[in-house]
Amino acid sequence: MFETFRNASRVRRAYSTNSIIYWIKTLPIIGKMVSNSTYSGGVIRTVANVLYILKAIIGFCLGDFIYLLILLGVSMGVSESMGIMTGTEAFKNVYFFLALIGVLLNSYLFDPSEDKYYAINMLRMNPREYVLSDMIYRVIRKFVGYSIMFVIICLLTKLSVSVAVMLVTMTLLGKFLGAFVKLQFVKKNNVGKMSNILVWYVMGMFILGCVVTFVLKLAVSPVVIYIVGGAICLTGIFCFFKLWNYEDYPQTCKYFLTLETVSVKNNKENVEKKNADNSIKVEVNSEEATSNKEGYAYYNDLFVKRHSKLLKKRTTIMCFVLLAMLVVEVVSLFIGKMFFNMKPLDMVSTLLFSMPLIIYYANNGEQLASVMFMNCDNAMLTYNFYRRADVLLGVFRSRLKTVISYNIIPAFLISCCLAVVCAFSSDYANALTYVAIFILCPVLSVFFSVHRLVVYYLLQPYTDGLEKKRSSYSLANYATYFVTYTIFMARDDINLAPIAFSGVSVIFTVIYVLVALLLVYKFAPKRFVIHK
């Protein structure tokens, strides 16, 4: 088994190193200087190897450190601000219920990944030895990270060492329990039922944790942690031996490691394109695929109607999620005002500067652009007339209206959520604040819709094989995320009135739209092409 693990580590290193080289080759200027011979050796490959080693060292425990630090900070901050219980008790409560959720949520054993796909399906490594050694390695790595972090937490807080040991042990041994449960559903060919049970289990534990902590204000007793944790540990040890003695790993791995479940880019995107083409065939002959518009508006209207299911899917899901959040919000505000004397308006003023990041995630522009390329631009860009400046600008304006119409609905729902918060504040002297809050979300939605579409036109990232190739497209998205995240982190330090912030957003959005139209007209004919 150790030899299999060592070979698997070599495969993982080679795959990651080649991925880094490939990423370097896609950079705008540096990429042209890198040849294909770099994959076999040279300075660039040495640099890629060093980057992989640094990534492995930093990533060994960094994720666990960040996760536990955030958990500790949020738990102590919320408990102290609401006066529910001490910070240590709040952290213990939150971690305990999250550990119970994690038993079934993250089992490691059958998580599909590219390196696992290559090692088992292509290099024919022993499936049993590979998945077991990989899982044991992950558990050991998490044990090291959690142990170091919990030592620090015990020194900083009043958390008992015995409780900390039990929490860490139940977290790790629970992984074997979760993997065994998942295996039983797979053996019975009932993964769909397992997904439904998992959803209800997570929701149940989350609600139970919220009720115990925030409503009943009860700290989980160490005795309860010992009993529940001990049961999970003993069951986890039993399940580990069951997994160790299980023989049918080849067949089980065939079920999990398929093109649909593993992110092998080219094959996965071909599957997605095939599914998209199937949906087109269903809708092309529908009576709704007609339009009374003319010119580019007619062309775009036909496209939208023929692909309405693909275009509306994420927006519809987002609307249902926001409606559910609205209901939860009303109930939470009622409880907060009745029992904790909370002031919603103060919270909204802080939340106002979090809106750029929230709308960034709620915006559907990037997904809509990928649908446009897969089902339209991939074919139309082979015609010279489609790349003329006047044609591109006409189609861009029609598409911009469509993208804005899809994204503005979730934005208005978010505005409604904030309006409900304002209504609970009963402070009608701040009418301008309410107006600023209500118009900000739609304005930000328009901005991100324009931004994502103009980035798609200027940095078109896809190849003729529907593979995302250009790093500049990803870098532009990362830069946008970085700016919104910076505003989010500095929200408490921003000294700007809500009405001023909304006014600046409106002015900036109008200017950005005008600049975007000019950029598309000037540069899209050269930049909006299919890459080989």
Domain end position, chosen among 32, 59, 86: 59
Task: Look over the chain and give the mean of its residue pLDDT values, rounded to a whole number.
Answer: 75
Cβ(189)–Cβ(255) below 8 Å: no
217 plus 106 within the same structural domain: yes
The rounded distance, in Å, linking the Cα atoms of 203 and 142 is 25
145 plus 220 within the same structural domain: yes
Count of alpha carbons within 13 angstroms of residue 20, beta-carbon side? 17
* pLDDT for the residue numbered 339: 54
Single-letter residue type at 307: H
The rounded distance, in Å, linking the Cα atoms of 86 and 90 is 6
328 plus 470 within the same structural domain: yes
The rounded distance, in Å, linking the Cα atoms of 167 and 228 is 10
The structural domain count of the chain equals 3
Phi and psi at residue 132, in whole multiples of 5°?
-70, -45
User: Which is nearest to 89 in space by CA: 70, 73, 75, 110?
Assistant: 75
Phi and psi at residue 459, in whole multiples of 5°?
-125, 40
In the chain, the N- to C-terminal Cα span, in Å, equals 42
CB atoms within 10 A of CB 146: 22
DSSP, res 493: T
70 plus 47 within the same structural domain: no
- Asked if residue 281 belongs to a domain, the reply is yes
* H or E segment and range at residue 226: helix 222-245
99 plus 162 within the same structural domain: yes
Cβ(135)–Cβ(179) below 8 Å: yes
Pull the structure tokens for residue 441.
Answer: 């979300």
* pLDDT for the residue numbered 60: 66
The rounded distance, in Å, linking the Cα atoms of 49 and 333 is 52
The rounded distance, in Å, linking the Cα atoms of 280 and 310 is 9
- Asked if residue 289 belongs to a domain, the reply is yes
292 plus 388 within the same structural domain: yes
The length of the chain, given as a count of residues? 532
Cβ(133)–Cβ(5) below 8 Å: yes
Owning domain of residue 340:
265-527
Intervals of the chain under pLDDT 50: 263-287
- Asked if residue 72 belongs to a domain, the reply is yes
- Asked if residue 74 belongs to a domain, the reply is yes
Pull the structure tokens for residue 332.
Answer: 């939470």
Domain end position, chosen among 222, 256, 290: 256
User: Which is nearest to 179 in space by CA: 194, 192, 168, 199?
Assistant: 194
- Asked if residue 532 belongs to a domain, the reply is no
377 plus 431 within the same structural domain: yes
* pLDDT for the residue numbered 234: 92
375 plus 489 within the same structural domain: yes
β-partners of residue 468 are 462
The rounded distance, in Å, linking the Cα atoms of 178 and 20 is 33
344 plus 490 within the same structural domain: yes
The rounded distance, in Å, linking the Cα atoms of 207 and 203 is 6
Three-state SS string over 419-442 comes to HHHHHHHCCHHHHHHHHHHHHHHH
* pLDDT for the residue numbered 276: 43
Kindly write down the DSSP assignment for every residue of 166-205, as one continuous string. Answer: HHHHHHHHHHHHHHHHHHHHHHTT-HHHHHHHHHHHHHHH
- Asked if residue 108 belongs to a domain, the reply is yes
Domain end position, chosen among 204, 235, 256: 256
Pull the structure tokens for residue 99.
Answer: 């550990």
- Asked if residue 26 belongs to a domain, the reply is yes
Kindly write down the DSSP assignment for every residue of 115-127, as one continuous string. Answer: HHHIIIIIS---H
Q: What does pTM read for this prediction?
A: 0.56
pLDDT tens-digit readout, 363-381: 887 777 777 887 787 778 7
- Asked if residue 23 belongs to a domain, the reply is yes
154 plus 30 within the same structural domain: no
Cα 39 to the center of its chain, rounded Å: 31
352 plus 445 within the same structural domain: yes
The rounded distance, in Å, linking the Cα atoms of 239 and 367 is 41
84 plus 141 within the same structural domain: yes
Cα 294 to the center of its chain, rounded Å: 39
The rounded distance, in Å, linking the Cα atoms of 105 and 256 is 16
Per-residue burial over 80-98, b if 16 or more Cβ lie within 10 Å, else e, is eebebbebbbbbbbbbbbb
